[in-house]
Homo-oligomer: A and B are copies of this chain.
Amino acid sequence: MLRTHNCGELRIEDINKEVTLCGWVQKVRDKGGMIWIDLRDRYGVTQLVFDESKTSQEILATVRKLGREYVIQSSGIVVERYAKNDKIPTGSIEIDVKNIDILNASKVPPFTIEDETDGGDELRMKYRYLDIRRNPVRKGLELRHRMLQHTRNYLDGQNFMEIETPFLIKSTPEGARDFIVPSRVNQGEFYALPQSPQTFKQLLMVSGIDRYFQIVKCFRDEDLRADRQPEFTQIDCEMSFITRDDILQTFEGLIKYLFKQALNYSLDKVERMSYDHAMQYYGNDKPDIRFDMLFVEMNDVAQGKGFKVFDDAELVVGINVEDCADYSRKQLDALTDFVRKPQIGAKGLVYVKYNEDGSFKSSVDKFFNQEDLKVWAEKMNAKPGDLLLLLSGEQNHTRNALSELRLKMGSNLGLRSKHEFKALWILDFPLLEWDEDSQRFHAMHHPFTSPTPEDMEKLTTDPGAVKANAYDLVINGVEIGGGSIRIHDKTLQQKMFDALGFTADEAKKQFGFLMDAFEFGAPPHGGIAFGFDRLCAMFGGSESIRDYIAFPKNNSGKDVMIDSPSTVSIDQLKELGISLND
């Protein structure tokens, strides 16, 4: 080793030790007579000190050559600092330097290597290798490293076998978003990169592997939006001989373990909520339950009073924002503007202030008298000082809009701390969704998702009403994972294909080898997958998954550091037997 210690480990107990450190020059302070250098590596910062009167000219000449980010090796004696710095673990000591060597020079970096940098996003991505030197980015990657180890430790402890599934697989007919890979050896043919290891993990259950996991890259050639990556990492799991509750318990266990190990945070009981309940009371299938502010449906008390907007609405629904009756005109206008934004799309907002004196002031006083509004307040469980906010219109659309408003109010009122975590399972999703274009049902998840045990019969009589034996794990309003119990029974599978309007032949064509495999003794099984990038971001308290990926791509799917994707030579294409159109 070129060092005896790293830059994060020396303490007051190490005084008088002879040490050698290596690292990057964070800062040089020359106060005339004394020079200090902050030397940084992954592990921390240690202060080097040079007393000019006792230091050789040769060493001083070297010190004077140093610039930011120079790489040096330096030896000396650990001494106690006069002015201690209790903000860093090495703050009680410094190194009285006897020798210093420049291991490598550095050009001036294009942005400052500090917690708060002056580099913009694009610049930092181009020089990502310098961005990673910054504490916040490195800490994000350290958190990710720890979460990788903890996840595997837990699953290994639960008898899950880590099995690597192939990356060069087959494009499926519905796989319009597959990345494909031309084969040189088999010209005219293509591999596809997996969107998930779904079929392989089900095959592994047929293989008797019993419990499988993998932390694995998946690929999706989607039109990119903010915070989507064409390659992303998934914790992928599958179990045999289990019921839904076994899966929920096992993976609640995983999440609690991760919170405990990585953040020393004790997660509360993981709630369970049906999809219908979530939609009705939160307007959202991934409710943030750090705060209540539940939806109250108001049709029965709000309609029939001559307010046409409400009378014509499929749904009138509101939330009670506690202690906000003192909102100003300006604040209420801002909320109206918010719900009218195109991405939210409400036409307007009705408010009712429940004043401290027991009176009501609303934006619909023309249609509703104090008695009417008192009934509303009672229904919404409001007390004097509260503010009621109501939206109306088509049911789904209105729920979506009110959900956005609820989240905004939660944020405004500080009810969504990023240091508090509330997890819940959303259960009983619809199995099928009706597609107007093709006039048939589509599988909401995929066609191997099992109905709930109670709804098996309805699959032939009332397919639209069947619930899926599926589950999503939602934390703080973010979907972190999801999965389902799979169909392993041939007869049931046939009914499912019937409901989807598939002929046996079509099914065979589309799901061929998995269907074949299921003929040879498939066990009852189910599984789940977690978005690992998102999980790390949530644990790290960030909104952006990019902060937790070492070398992310930008919103156009480009890696600006290595300039990828890029053109390739005609020769290379010729070897593959393909050419560019036009």
Q: Which residues of A contact B (CB under 8 A)?
A: 1-3, 6, 22-24, 40-43, 69-71, 73, 103-107, 109, 127-130, 132-133, 138, 141-142, 144-145, 148-149, 152, 156, 161-171, 173, 176, 178-186, 188-193, 199-200, 203-204, 206-210, 217, 219, 221, 223-224, 230-231, 233, 240-243, 246, 488-489, 513, 517, 519-524, 549-551, 553, 556-559, 561-569, 572, 574-582
Kindly state the separation between the CA atoms of A183 and B219 in the bound complex, as whole angstroms: 12
Residues of B near A550 (CB, < 8 A) are: 163-165, 200, 204
CB pair B181 A129 closer than 8 Å: no
Residues of B near A523 (CB, < 8 A) are: 22, 71, 103-104
CB pair A105 B166 closer than 8 Å: no
Residue in B70, B193, B521 whose CB lies within 8 Å of A71: B521
CB pair A1 B246 closer than 8 Å: yes
12 contacts between A and B (CB under 8 A): A41-B208, A104-B523, A106-B520, A129-B203, A129-B207, A164-B217, A164-B233, A182-B182, A185-B221, A185-B223, A577-B582, A579-B581
Q: A41-B208, A176-B575 are in contact. Are A105 and B521 (CB under 8 A)?
A: yes
Residues of B near A568 (CB, < 8 A) are: 171, 180, 190, 192
CB pair B104 A558 closer than 8 Å: no
CB pair A578 B579 closer than 8 Å: yes
Chain B nearest Cβ from A155, distance in angstroms? 10
Most buried by B among A144, A207, A217: A207
Kindly state the separation between the CA atoms of A568 and B193 in the bound complex, as whole angstroms: 13
Considering the complex, give the chain B residue whose CB is closest to the CB of A103: B524
Residue in B22, B181, B207, B551 whose CB lies within 8 Å of A181: B181
CB pair B145 A161 closer than 8 Å: yes
Additional A-B contacts beyond A168-B179, A182-B182 (17; CB < 8 A): A1-B242, A22-B523, A41-B210, A69-B520, A104-B488, A104-B489, A105-B521, A129-B520, A130-B207, A144-B163, A152-B152, A165-B551, A167-B193, A169-B562, A170-B565, A176-B575, A578-B579
Kindly state the separation between the CA atoms of A152 and B150 in the bound complex, as whole angstroms: 11
CB pair B520 A559 closer than 8 Å: no
CB pair B166 A71 closer than 8 Å: no
Kindly state the separation between the CA atoms of A162 and B170 in the bound complex, as whole angstroms: 29
CB pair B132 A190 closer than 8 Å: no
Residues of B near A109 (CB, < 8 A) are: 520
Chain B nearest Cβ from A214, distance in angstroms? 10
Residues of B near A556 (CB, < 8 A) are: 185-186
Q: A109-B520, A145-B163, A563-B170 are in contact. Are A241 and B1 (CB under 8 A)?
A: yes
Considering the complex, give the chain B residue whose CB is closest to the CB of A574: B581
Residues of B near A70 (CB, < 8 A) are: 521
Kindly state the separation between the CA atoms of A581 and B182 in the bound complex, as whole angstroms: 12
CB pair A190 B566 closer than 8 Å: yes
Chain B nearest Cβ from A235, distance in angstroms? 13
Kindly state the separation between the CA atoms of A199 and B564 in the bound complex, as whole angstroms: 14
Residues of B near A185 (CB, < 8 A) are: 221, 223-224, 556-557
Kindly state the separation between the CA atoms of A563 and B166 in the bound complex, as whole angstroms: 13
Residue in B148, B230, B241 whose CB lies within 8 Å of A162: B148
Residues of B near A567 (CB, < 8 A) are: 188-190
Residues of B near A23 (CB, < 8 A) are: 208
Chain B nearest Cβ from A27, distance in angstroms? 14
CB pair B580 A577 closer than 8 Å: yes
Kindly state the separation between the CA atoms of A186 and B241 in the bound complex, as whole angstroms: 45
CB pair B162 A156 closer than 8 Å: no
Residues of B near A42 (CB, < 8 A) are: 208-210
Q: A1-B241, A104-B489 are in contact. Are A204 and B578 (CB under 8 A)?
A: no
Residues of B near A191 (CB, < 8 A) are: 179, 564-565
Kindly state the separation between the CA atoms of A167 and B208 in the bound complex, as whole angstroms: 30
Considering the complex, give the chain B residue whose CB is closest to the CB of A224: B185
CB pair A241 B107 closer than 8 Å: no
CB pair A69 B1 closer than 8 Å: no
Residues of B near A488 (CB, < 8 A) are: 103-104
Residues of B near A164 (CB, < 8 A) are: 217, 233, 549-550
Kindly state the separation between the CA atoms of A221 and B513 in the bound complex, as whole angstroms: 26
CB pair B169 A181 closer than 8 Å: no
